[in-house]
Chain A
Amino acid sequence: MSHEMNTVLGLYNYWIVIFLMMTGFYVVIAKGNLVKKIIGLNLFQISVFLLYLSMGKINGGTTPIYPDKSFFADLQDQSSTMPVYSHPLPSVLILTAIVVGIATTALALALIVRIHEAYGTIEEDEILLQDQEA
């Protein structure tokens, strides 16, 4: 396999994730509807989670759960080998990030409900127009 082919196959996961991230980013900055902006922010968030987790993956690896004693008995009989673990630290970080993400989403949605209450619309340009007229 050529060097370029290896590079593409080795990095395609990052590139797809960056594409997803940029789609979310585009929705946040280009769309005027506030709920749509939150949806874009969610897309961006999930893409970042995937970016971190795909860095922790290891070929032939498995979930970092430590085996019990009977496994080590097999290990001494040579009937099994010590497993390779994918990196646990990205999982820990992202678990925290998911929970913080839902907290910010909930707060943003409550703000949107309040904005709709005050302005009667959730379109950014109409809100700005009302502010200018006031």
Chain B
Amino acid sequence: MADSNAAQLIVILLLALLGATAITIARMRQLWAAVMLTGVFSFLGAGWMLILDAPDVAFTEAAVGAGISTFLMLATLGLTSREAKPPAAFKPAPLVVVIVTGCALVYGTLDMPYYGDPDGHIHAYPDPSYIVKTNGDNGDPNDSEGEIKLPNVVTAILASYRGYDTFGETTVILTAGVGVILLLRRERRTTEQPEPPSADADRGGPA
């Protein structure tokens, strides 16, 4: 019992830090700092994911969310500008929209099962026996072979049962990569042709 209380305390602390980081990001005009704080937000999220028994997702989030996406955003800032314009007059409409949406979502959670409730309908389906079927290796010599023979159930579903989804996912990555290359190649062509003299003249300035 004391153990679960300690875990709950850590969760409350992580959630408070996530909230504080999100508000700071929303108020910040220095884009450089906001991007770094987004990385912090990702890491805090990954920490909670570990407590939520999803280490595969936590690793991916730490590597992709906090690593690659921070790097891409910093690269974009290097090519564009580092500071957002001071805000114009405060407009209430977005705040109203956000508060109304948030209230509707909170109303929706009132029907949800409580955090970690083993009787929640989420845990009733699919029949948990598929975990044994995935692996098959339950120590009983008379039992039939497992379907996938991987101890990690998440990997078994991702790579085999839902292999088509994962294939589609790699297609999405390929498409995005091709799109990025096409967009940035066009940019280099249009800047290189008219600019060689001015680029030489500007060499002394900061990049």
Residues of A bordering B, CB below 8 Å: 6-7, 9-16, 18-27, 29-33, 35-36, 38-40, 42-43, 46, 49-50, 53-69, 71-73, 75-76, 84-92, 94-96, 98-107, 109-114, 116-117, 121-123, 125-126
Contacts and interface: CB of A to CB of B under 8 A. Distances in A.
Interface in B45-101: 45, 48-49, 52-57, 60-61, 64-65, 68-69, 72-73, 75-77, 79-81, 84-85, 87-88, 91, 94-95, 97-99, 101
**What size tier do the contact residues of chain B reach?**
35 or more
Given A23-B22, A95-B158, A69 B114 contact: no
Contacts of A56: 52-54, 122
Contacts of A27: 25-26
Interface string B114-141: 1111101011001010011011011110
Contact of A103 (B25, B42, B99, B172): B172
A86 B179 CA distance: 38
Contacts, number: 288
Given A11-B109, A13-B15, A22-B102, A91 B183 contact: no
A119 B49 CA distance: 40
A123 to B, nearest CB: 5
B15 to A, nearest CB: 4
A14 B76 contact: no
A71 B159 CA distance: 25
A12 B19 CA distance: 13
Contacts of B4: 59-60
A14 B52 contact: no
Contacts of A121: 81
B28 to A, nearest CB: 9
B115 A109 contact: no
18 contacts: A10-B117, A14-B112, A18-B102, A35-B35, A39-B35, A49-B45, A59-B117, A66-B152, A72-B140, A99-B173, A101-B64, A102-B65, A103-B175, A113-B79, A113-B80, A121-B81, A123-B84, A125-B88
Contacts of B34: 36, 39
Contact of A53 (B23, B49, B131): B49
